[in-house]
């Protein structure tokens, strides 16, 4: 009885399941097409940009050296501070040079007195030529003596000028404005023309940005902007090592005339302003954003935006064959489309070929689609804006 009873209950349960299955299928149904977010391909005003790695370089750099041999009596600057053109950097011992100038001036005065006396002697000899006491030989001697003293005066004046120049070299002034480095010698040391640089001055504003680019990229830039003004149609922006976008813009002004054989690159140079930071003083460390020798990211951009097909960068996928997107047609069917990208940013990609204006591409739900399936498209949500 027990076995028979169990058999009846099992059979009844099977019949319930059998009759319940069609109802469950009718209630839930098969899964529908996956929902995806799509966006139309449109032309947008975009700024073309190319990125390179560059280095900041001062427009001027001067190594200060001594021109005479003397003791250092005074240093007129603070190491690491900014100096202006003409500021006193070093004052050397002046007394020996002042004494030499005085001696040379006295020699010039002596020769000038002898020259005056020779002129008087010549005039006397010439006046005697009208009398029997006059002799031609006396006149000739007087002429020669006057010419000799005139030459000695000129030589003495040249020596005096050289001594005055040496005296002027005892004061060393800044030939350019910029930030001064560390002094190689302290006050009290003897310096000579062979002592090497005493200190260096590096100009601060403006700065150069030097960056190498591949020859192919250089040709592309040349062709892209040839009919838009060339260099005048390009501006240079930089991203600092901490990731900040530098607010100043620069202009390209120089291209190397030769290609580097080892790297097949050309060096380009841009000029960019480097003003003091807000609230900073010239002598403060880090008073300006750009530092001579630092690496930066260089972005060469067009001055005016151009109309181009632009799509969200998140919609672009890639494999070994290149970049592609998923396109949804009028029947809501998905197809894979190979595309060629132009200048792109982390948020936006410029499409050079492969898409047409007005086509729908999948932006959200890419993990749920594959070529050939039918989807349920809806407008993709706008990306959040950055504050």
**Mean pLDDT in residue range 305-334:** 86
At 187, the pLDDT band (50, 70, 90 cuts) reads very high
Q: How far apart are CA 12 and CA 4, in angstroms?
A: 12
At residue 27, the pLDDT reads 53
**Mean pLDDT in residue range 332-340:** 90
Q: Point out the least confidently predicted range of 227-231, 321-325, 336-340.
A: 227-231
At 386, the pLDDT band (50, 70, 90 cuts) reads very low
At residue 7, the pLDDT reads 45
Q: Is residue 16 part of a domain?
A: no
At residue 61, the pLDDT reads 94
Name the residue among 161, 166, 173 with its Cα closest to residue 97: 166
The CATH number that applies at residue 294 is: 2.40.30.170
Q: How far apart are CA 355 and CA 358, in angstroms?
A: 9
**Are 251 and 323 part of one and the same domain?**
no
Q: Is residue 25 part of a domain?
A: no
pLDDT at residue 147 greater than cutoff 50 = yes
**Are 312 and 302 part of one and the same domain?**
no
Give helix then strand counts, H and E, for the chain. 4, 23
**Are 329 and 368 part of one and the same domain?**
yes
Pairing assessment for the beta strands 61-64 and 306-312 based on DSSP bridges: unpaired
Q: Summarize the chain as % helix, strand, coil (round to 5).
A: 30, 35, 35
Q: How far apart are CA 55 and CA 298, in angstroms?
A: 9
At residue 130, the pLDDT reads 67
pLDDT at residue 158 greater than cutoff 70 = yes
At residue 387, the pLDDT reads 41
pLDDT at residue 218 greater than cutoff 60 = yes
At 209, the pLDDT band (50, 70, 90 cuts) reads very high
The CATH number that applies at residue 335 is: 2.40.420.20
Q: What share of the chain has pLDDT > 70, as a percent? A: 86
pTM, two decimals, is: 0.65
Q: Is residue 254 part of a domain?
A: yes
Task: Give 152-196 as a DSSP string.
Answer: HHHHHHHHHHHHHHHHHTTEEE-SS-EEE---SS-TT-EE-TTS-
At residue 162, the pLDDT reads 93
Domain endpoint, select from 306, 321, 345: 306
pLDDT at residue 145 greater than cutoff 70 = yes
**Mean pLDDT in residue range 102-130:** 84
**Are 83 and 181 part of one and the same domain?**
yes
If one counts the domains in the chain, the total is: 4
Q: Is residue 154 part of a domain?
A: yes
At 12, the pLDDT band (50, 70, 90 cuts) reads very low
pLDDT at residue 378 greater than cutoff 60 = yes
**Mean pLDDT in residue range 123-136:** 71
**Mean pLDDT in residue range 367-387:** 77
- Expressed as residue numbers, the domain containing 251 is 50-60+204-306
CB 224 within 8 A of CB 98: no
At residue 15, the pLDDT reads 42
Q: Is residue 24 part of a domain?
A: no
**Are 185 and 285 part of one and the same domain?**
no
At residue 65, the pLDDT reads 94
At 71, the pLDDT band (50, 70, 90 cuts) reads very high
The CATH number that applies at residue 182 is: 2.40.50.100
Name the residue among 299, 341, 294 with its Cα closest to residue 316: 341
At residue 30, the pLDDT reads 63
**Mean pLDDT in residue range 271-278:** 91
pLDDT at residue 91 greater than cutoff 80 = yes
**Are 192 and 221 part of one and the same domain?**
no
**Are 68 and 194 part of one and the same domain?**
yes
Q: Is residue 55 part of a domain?
A: yes
**Are 297 and 285 part of one and the same domain?**
yes
pLDDT at residue 118 greater than cutoff 90 = no
At 327, the pLDDT band (50, 70, 90 cuts) reads very high
Q: What is the largest CA-CA distance in the chain?
A: 185
Q: Which residue has the tokens 């959200």?
A: 364
Domain endpoint, select from 202, 224, 248: 202
At residue 318, the pLDDT reads 87
**Are 126 and 153 part of one and the same domain?**
yes
**Are 300 and 322 part of one and the same domain?**
no
**Are 84 and 150 part of one and the same domain?**
no
Cα dihedral across residues 144, 148, 151, 157: positive or negative: negative
Name the residue among 305, 302, 334, 306 with its Cα closest to residue 37: 334
**Mean pLDDT in residue range 291-312:** 82
Q: Is residue 13 part of a domain?
A: no
pLDDT at residue 77 greater than cutoff 70 = yes
At residue 4, the pLDDT reads 44
Q: Is residue 23 part of a domain?
A: no
Q: How far apart are CA 315 and CA 47, in angstroms?
A: 20
Give me 68's structure tokens.
């005479």
Domain endpoint, select from 306, 330, 355: 306
**Are 69 and 197 part of one and the same domain?**
yes
Q: How far apart are CA 155 and CA 285, in angstroms?
A: 52
Choice between 26 and 183, residue whose per-residue pLDDT is larger: 183
Taking all residues of the chain, what is their mean pLDDT, rounded to a whole number?
83
Q: How far apart are CA 261 and CA 294, in angstroms?
A: 25
The H-assigned helical ranges of the chain are: 2-28, 95-128, 136-168, 215-225
- 219-241 pLDDT, tens digit each: 877 777 777 777 777 888 899 98
Name the residue among 187, 170, 291 with its Cα closest to residue 240: 291
pLDDT at residue 16 greater than cutoff 50 = no
């Amino acid at each position: 009885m027990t076995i028979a009873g169990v058999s009846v209950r099992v059979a009844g349960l099977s019949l319930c399941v059998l009759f319940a299955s069609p109802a469950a299928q009718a209630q839930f149904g098969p899964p529908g097409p996956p929902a995806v977010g799509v966006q139309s391909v449109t032309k947008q005003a975009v700024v073309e940009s190319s990125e390179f790695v560059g280095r900041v370089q001062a427009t001027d750099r001067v190594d200060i050296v001594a021109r005479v041999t003397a003791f250092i009596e005074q240093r007129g600057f603070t190491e690491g501070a900014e100096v202006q053109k003409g500021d006193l950097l070093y004052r050397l011992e002046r007394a020996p040079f002042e004494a030499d100038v005085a001696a040379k001036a006295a020699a010039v005065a002596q020769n000038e007195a002898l020259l005056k006396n020779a002129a008087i002697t010549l005039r006397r000899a010439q006046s005697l030529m009208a009398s029997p006491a006059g002799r031609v030989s006396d006149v000739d001697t007087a002429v020669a003596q006057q010419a000799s003293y005139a030459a000695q005066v000129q030589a003495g004046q040249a020596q005096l000028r050289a001594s005055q120049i040496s005296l002027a070299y005892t004061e060393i002034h800044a030939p350019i404005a910029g930030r001064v480095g560390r002094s190689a010698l302290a006050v009290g040391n003897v310096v000579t023309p062979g002592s090497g640089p005493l200190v260096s001055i590096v100009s601060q504003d403006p700065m150069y940005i030097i960056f190498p680019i591949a020859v192919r990229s250089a040709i592309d830039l040349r062709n892209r902007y040839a009919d838009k003004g060339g260099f005048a149609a390009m501006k240079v922006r930089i991203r600092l090592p901490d990731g900040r976008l530098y607010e100043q813009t620069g202009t390209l002004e120089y291209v190397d005339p030769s290609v580097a054989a080892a790297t097949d690159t050309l060096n380009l140079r841009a000029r960019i302003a480097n003003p003091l930071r807000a609230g900073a003083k010239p002598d403060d460390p880090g008073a300006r954003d750009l530092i001579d020798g630092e690496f930066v990211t260089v972005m060469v951009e067009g001055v005016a935006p151009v109309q181009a097909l632009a799509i969200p960068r998140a919609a672009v996928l890639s494999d070994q064959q290149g970049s592609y997107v998923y396109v949804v047609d009028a029947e809501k069917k998905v197809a894979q489309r190979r595309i060629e990208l132009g200048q792109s940013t982390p948020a936006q990609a410029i499409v050079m070929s492969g898409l047409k204006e007005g086509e729908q591409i999948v932006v959200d739900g890419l993990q749920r689609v594959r070529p050939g399936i039918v989807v349920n498209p809806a407008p993709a949500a706008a990306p959040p804006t950055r504050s």
